[in-house]
Structure 1
Amino acid sequence: WMAYQLHQLEMDFKNITIICSILDWPWIKEAYNERKPYDQKITPLDNPKIYAVEKETLFFTLAEFPYITYLNEIYRQEIKPDKEVVIDGIKEILIQARKIFTQKHRPRYHNLTSQTFQTYLQYARNLTLIENRLTPDLYTLITVAKQISGDPFAIAVLEAAREYPFQVLESTSIEPLTLGIDKAVDSDNTPMNMKNRLSENQIEWRGINLKPEPNIKKQAQWKYNWDPYGQCSWPPEDDQIESFNTHVREQSKLLLSNDLARSEKFSSSIKDGVDMRDTLRHWHEGDIYVKEIPASRGRIEIVVFIFDIEPNPNNYPWCQTWYAEHNKESTLCFFATDYMNDMVGPGVGRATYGGCMMIYPPRPIPDIWKDPRIHIGKTLEEKLLEAAFFHSQEKHITVVTPCLPKPNWRKISRKYHKSIIHIPLKRFSNQTIEKVRRFHVLNGKQIRSFAKHFIQDL
């Protein structure tokens, strides 16, 4: 058949090049020289056609990640060695994924640092070796990204890995194909079977559960169907912020105790430990000093978190007071972004705290944003702090902020005869802060039964 095809081509072309296996060449040459008659049979094969490929489906036709193929082309243009491009390409994908993640979600804090990437690469290496592979596949990269930084970053890694900047379909008139697993669909939605002859490695297709961002059309529909008379929180996030609040209270009590600590010469007991500062200060005397930390007096009832020092009311238009559903929750007052502008599911909105105040044990109070008795504060954070000073039954108020308390805050606290215990926000990790700041609002308790299918994990 191959010799017959060569004779057919001789009728139209003078010079013909045939590329075949060297093992087949003697038989092809012999059949070509013999020129024996060939019984022409009807074959389903047709003349080849050239198609473009949809940018999002390039992964199904290339032998490696589209972004690594792009890096290979860049290295070839710049005449650089590409021996390590497959390994270094994974790092480039992570950097590109971080860029996509920050542009899409615009987080104030994130944990996508070089140290996190080092942990990511070590974890990906271990999983790759377990699967007896030399380089990680896409499933491994996405699995590690999801377990380290949640669904949003895993989706960013997927988008970065399949990105091929050279592919611009708008500049060509060639009909594009949408590829899949051994299948393709043309512009007329006609399916056809495909075979990838470039793949050198055996590919195993596996599924992973990711929760993508909804499109604008769905968000508009969910926003339209929202019931303005129903609103509640998401219980796992309640447990998370209550746990964080408890930790801050313990830190506050420790700071109160340290303020009351006193030092004395060692006699018979080391009490609460050696006071290294006083011991070194009296080193010439040859005495050892120990410290005694008495139990803290009073308790911490109200904790105020201010994540944005100078909040813009246009960025945080939603000011609300939420009451506890049970005695394990705090009374919560906060200002946050508008959840209606970020719908993630039917009856599920997402918002970000600019600042919040938590009262524990919980007790009902008037809405602080409508209470005429709270009138000194002019800005959002000042109103929140004034409400804390006004409603606190204890002398000490814990304030967690990125900076030192401002003079106006201390002025308001003195008016209400309260004192501020300041805890720097940087004492906590960026990932913890971001998890606490972001929360979801549900359109009624009935939404809790299926909300987990739309809420992304960080």
Structure 2
Amino acid sequence: MDSLKLSPKITVFPVVHGSGDFAVAVRQQMLETEYDCLAVPLPPSFQANVEEAIQYLPAITSVVQPEPREYHTDWSPESDREDDEEEHACSYVPIDPCQPVIAALRIALQEHIPRRFIDLETSHFAPVTAMLPDAYALKTVRPDRFAAAVLPSLEIVREGQPWDRVVALAARLRELEQDFDSILVVCSILDWPWIKDAYHDGVTQQVFDDDVDDVETFSVAPRTLTFLLGELPFVTSLYERARAELDSDEHLSVDGIKALLLETRDRYRAELKQRARRITPKGLKIYLQYVRNLSLVERRMTPDLYTLAVAARQIFGDAFAVQLMETARDYQFDRETGFATLRMGIDKAAFPDGEVAEMISRLPGPPVVWRSLALNRRPPEIDERQWKQRWNPFSQCSWPPEDESIENLRTAVQDMALAITGDDLARSEKFTTSLMDGLDIRETLRNWHTNDLYVKVFPPNRGTLDCVVMLFDSPADPRDYPWRTTWMAEHQNESTLCFFATDFRSELIGPGIARATYGGAMFLFPPRTVPDIWQDPRFDAVDTLEERLLLAGCFHAKEPYVAVLSETAPGRAFQHIAKRFGKKLVHVPSAKLSQETISQLRTFHVLNGREVRSFASHFIRKP
């Protein structure tokens, strides 16, 4: 750190504002080295309110100073600004635990170290920002070497408000030297070389403090903390939890992302339950590798929220990406402060009186690029109530893309069942002139003493299947699947479909669009008109939903085989039902198919009329 000393009494600690890694580094420096004064690049007018607000941490607040209003009286036909229109702006200090300056002040207050706010009072603050290396490099690079590596890329400051502020900082540091023997200066990494130049060159201060308005402290609406904090609100809360529980927070900039991912997975499962995709360790590994690659493409060591959301959408789907973003903005410490609440936005804020002002941070981090990502979100509850009231119970239809997907599954199960029936007819023959369908190793070994070879013979499949029964949840609880109906085919490529499912009316996702989950289904293909099996008294002899579905399938099937897709083989009761109608059940284990695919196909949507199909894709999101 010798290279960062301005004099035997003054040590400069250059930081990247809004970086949790630099906040940890500053705290370690202050706890390892004894200082008798802390100087920070904030104006004296902020000191009382900032130090008071720090006492409320982990509650997040913002100390705001209004800037003088500007009035425009010039007008031209090309201008769309009316005469005397006023532009209102405010500068503010975010009381963010991951701000290095705030972390330093917090330690100084804790250790009773004198604090000095030495920046120039400016009525209109001009922030200085630049793209900087990822602060995670501090895990392997000392702060002084990090600052030295950044130095060649910094823009030289020799004029304007940034230079006036640098000169004022240097002048006030020379004054502090008269009163203190060991001073730590925490300043922006963009300013420290020019502070050093102004200090050593003895540049005379020519611009002095402006007259400024009083500052005021506000709480920040929890849902808008993303626009205020340097780190993600969820990660910021992990820093605060580690502080409260005396845990290590050295690697939270990366470990916090992992914790965010695991918390998102738990909330995702709790929300979607059976409809949720399986978030396996292998899937998480692929996701993290993809996040790493996207971060490296953007020349970062750690990912930002956009990178996390893009990877989540492409690996796990829209629903997981939405849950990830909602979890990321969740700050877990909600403490009452008594201050009025403002709502932050992109470089703007809405104050309690309804006024909206442009917001300029006094501790600006690297420039933020706001990018959009199209995701299908959950509808607000008020919309769900309105959609439920407008639902027409006499007009229902399916969504064609899902019809095609479930029919493809039916075809796949049917083909697998036919292959299984063909396996039962396989036989072994002694090799003569052709290998037929391949060498039968087992039979050849059995007859090893005869020196004969045996080959397999699979006769061609004969016949077809016209009935497929899929049992996704067996045994099924009737209370979970109150909706039972029969849908007729709309065209010759669709099956007649009988199923039991969850109540679609309890989950409306759009105007005239509802969602349900299959518990079990029976397909008849080629399609035919059949009475509703759930109202047909001929099937009242059975008790369970699965038995009724299978009984109807055996009754309406014209072929001797009925395919059954389920986790376990059909039991004795199922076999007895099939025997009554002279049918044979062909079991297709669901383990032969992708469980993720089955989970997605179980979820389907009900539309309140065919006209809804024209806009349904804007609301339907797959897990």
Would you say the 8 A contact 2:600–2:622 is kept in 1?
A: no
Instruction: Write out per-residue CA displacement over residues 182-213 of structure 1, whole angstroms, 9 at most, x where no aligned residue.
Output: 11112232212212344533321001111111
Structure 1 residue aligned with 2:558:
393
Moved more, 281-290 or 221-230: 281-290
Provide the C-alpha distance between the structure 2 equivalents of 1:280 and 1:54, rounded to a whole number of angstroms. Answer: 77
Aligned residue among 424, 430, 446 for 1:265: 430
Give the secondary structure class of the aligned counterpart of 1:220.
helix
1:144-293 aligned at under 5 Å gives the runs: 144-166=311-333, 168-169=334-335, 171-293=336-458
Q: For residues 280 and 69 of structure 1, do their structure 2 counterparts lie closer, same or farther at Cα, with a shift above 3 Å needed?
A: farther
**1:56 aligned residue (223, 228, 231):** 223
Q: Distance in 1 between matches of 2:579 and 2:208?
A: 102
**Deviation digits for residues 224-262 of structure 1, max 9, x if unmatched?**
101122111000100110111111111111111111111
Q: 1:12 maps to which residue?
A: none
SS in 2 for 1:51: strand
One-letter code of the match for 2:565?
Answer: V
Structure 1 residue aligned with 2:233: 66
1:402 maps to: 567
Summarize the Cα distance change of 1:199–1:93 in structure 2 as closer, same or farther, 3 Å threshold.
farther
Shift of 1:176: 1.7
SS at match of 1:413: helix
One of 113, 116, 132 as aligned partner of 1:17: 116
Instruction: Specify the alignment match of 2:295 in structure 1.
Output: 128
Q: Distance in 1 between matches of 2:173 and 2:307?
A: 48
Cα distance, 1:289 vs structure 2 = 2.2
CA contact (8 A) 1:389 1:416 kept: yes
Matches within 5 A, 1:311-326: 311-326=476-491
Mapped partners of 1:209, 1:231: distance in 2: 28
Bigger mean CA offset, 60-69 vs 444-453: 60-69
Contact 1:266 1:289 in 2 (8 A): yes
- The answer on whether the counterparts of 2:275 and 2:600 sit within 8 Å (CA) in structure 1 is no
1:1-16 alignment to 2 at 5 Å? none
CA distance in 2, matches of 1:449, 1:134: 44
TM-score relative to the length of structure 2: 0.67
Q: Relative to structure 2, which stretch is displaced further, 62-71 or 285-294? A: 285-294
TM-fit CA distance, 1:379: 1.3
Whole-angstrom CA distance in 2 between matches of 1:139 and 1:400: 40
CA shift at 1:331, angstroms?
0.7
1:130 Cα deviation (Å)?
1.6
Say if 1:74 and 1:222 are closer, same or farther in 2 by CA, change over 3 A: same
Does 1:82 pair with 2:257? no
Query: CA 1:285–1:165 in structure 2 vs 1: closer, same or farther (change >3 Å)?
Result: farther
Q: CA deviation at 1:22?
A: 7.7
- Residue of structure 1 aligned with 2:541, choices 341, 352, 376: 376
Q: Any conservation in 1 of the 2:228–2:344 contact (CA below 8 Å)?
A: yes
Question: Residues 83, 418 of structure 1: CA spacing in aligned structure 2 closer, same or farther, 3 A cutoff?
Answer: same
My pick for the range that moved more, 118-127 or 387-396, is: 118-127
Match of 2:516 in 1: 351
Q: Is the 8 A contact 2:118 2:172 kept in 1?
A: no
CA RMSD across the alignment: 2.5
d(CA) in 2 for partners of 1:201 and 1:247? 53
Q: Secondary structure at the match of 1:27?
A: helix
1:296 and 2:296 are equivalent in the alignment:
no
* 8 Å Cα contact 1:62/1:199 also seen in 2: no
Residues 328, 80 of structure 1: CA spacing in aligned structure 2 closer, same or farther, 3 A cutoff?
Answer: same
Cα deviations across residues 282-322 of structure 1 (Å, max 9, x unaligned)? 44544432111111121111100111112222221111111
Q: Does 1:119 align with 2:286?
A: yes
Query: How far 1:373 moved relative to its partner?
Result: 2.2
1:63–1:199 Cα contact (<8 Å) kept:
no
Query: Which moves more between the two structures, 337-346 or 307-316?
Result: 307-316
- The answer to whether the Cα contact below 8 Å between 1:214 and 1:344 also exists between their aligned partners in 2 is yes
Contact 1:374 1:386 in 2 (8 A): yes
Q: Is the 8 A contact 1:337 1:352 kept in 2?
A: yes
Helix, strand or coil at the partner of 1:321:
strand
Bigger drift between 446-455 and 66-75 goes to: 66-75
Alpha-carbon distance between aligned partners in 2 of 1:16 and 1:301, rounded to the nearest angstrom: 83
Structure number, greater radius of gyration: 2
Look up the equivalent residue of 1:66 and give its one-letter code: P
Is 1:417 the counterpart of 2:582? The answer is yes
Aligned 8 A contact 1:305 1:356 in 2: yes
Q: Which of 89, 96, 108 is the equivalent residue of 2:263?
A: 96
Q: Which residue of 1 aligns with 2:500?
A: 335
Structure 1 residue 439: Cα displacement? 0.4
Deviations 1:126-160 (A, max 9, x none): 11122222211111111111112221111111012
2:422, 2:460 within 8 Å by CA — same for their partners in 1? yes
Whole-Å Cα distance in 2 between the matches of residues 432 and 175 of structure 1? 50
Structure 1: segments with no counterpart, 5+ residues: 10-14
Q: Matched residues in 1 for 2:269 and 2:306: separation?
A: 22
Q: In structure 2, what is the Cα distance between the partners aligned to 1:201 and 1:25? A: 21
Deviations 1:394-448 (A, max 9, x none): 1110011122212111111111111111111222222211111110000111000
